[in-house]
Amino acid sequence: MNPDSIFITGANRGLGLEFVKRIFSQATSPKHLFAACRDPSKAEELRKLAEQHTCLRVVKLDVTKDSDIDAAFQEVSTHLGDGEGINLLINNSGVFDQSGCSLREGVTRDQMQSHFNVNATAPVLITQKLLPLLKKAAEKDKSHPMSYRRAAVINLSTAMASIQTSVSKSRCNSYHYRSSKAALNMLTGLMSVELRDSGILVAAIHPGWTQTDMGGASADFDAKTTTQNVWSAITGMTEKSSGLLHNYDGTVLPW
């Protein structure tokens, strides 16, 4: 079952777009689904879906621009009106420049900063801006336990950011991506503690290696399978799930 209100970043392609499709495959649609992307004019599939589903609103959002984050909040707040909040925020936007980034291949300041900007800083700033709406949703259903249907922030992370399992001689690569997602994992833990008393669940999840523009054609899963797996994991999360890094099958991954 879908929550009443959902906000997804990076929804114009890949996993973000597939999440939108997955949500509409459920028996009932949410009251509000905000699909955010950098350039709505180029998001043809999203716009077609919006023509079919009146609850879908395409929102302009470049996650690297504070002005866009502010404008998105204003648009969503106005559309929701008084008394309604956001039940589920999926921070899906991410970047992975596969040109190489290690001491052997070379590391640049631009590589590191661009990845931290999108993969770590943006999810925190978006969560911060939408927090009044998340709190409103949590307060409205405060008699219910913490879950994706009450109020939750789900950050798309990666097993590549697990220091315990992913640091080895054969994997000394992608410094920019691994470290920025490891930062996201830390931020997930911090936000989960800060928002626990507000009834907001905050968790990170590794979606698996997926056949998208980022993952490439040789990845393990197609986007439809991945979103099915991730959605199943999200719907099974409870208060005990908050602050953890989850695998797509619902198990917990080590930091």
CATH code where residue 225 lies: 3.40.50.720
Two tokens, residue 81: 């009106």
Global confidence as pTM: 0.95
Cβ neighbours of residue 35 closer than 8 Å, sequence gap 6 or more:
8, 11, 12, 16, 20, 43, 46, 49, 50, 56, 57, 58, 59
Q: Along the chain (255 residues), what's the average pLDDT of each consecutive run of 10 residues?
A: 94 95 93 98 97 98 99 98 94 92 95 98 99 97 92 97 82 92 98 98 89 63 87 97 96 94
The dihedral sign for the CA sequence 90, 91, 92, 93: positive
CA angle centred on 119, ends 114 and 122, rounded to 5°: 90
Res 242: pLDDT: 99
Res 219: pLDDT: 62
Res 141: pLDDT: 81
What is the number of structural domains in the chain? Answer: 1
Residue-wise pLDDT for 198-221, tens only, equals 999 999 999 976 666 665 666 667
Res 172: pLDDT: 83
Res 216: pLDDT: 60
Element (H, E) at 203: strand 201-206
Q: To the nearest whole number, what is the mean pLDDT of the chain?
A: 94
Cβ pair 19, 12 in contact under 8 A: no
Extract long-range pairs of 43-47: CB within 8 Å, 24+ residues apart.
Answer: 43/11, 43/12, 43/13, 45/12, 45/13, 45/17, 46/11, 46/12, 46/17, 46/20
Provide the domain limits for residue 27: 5-253
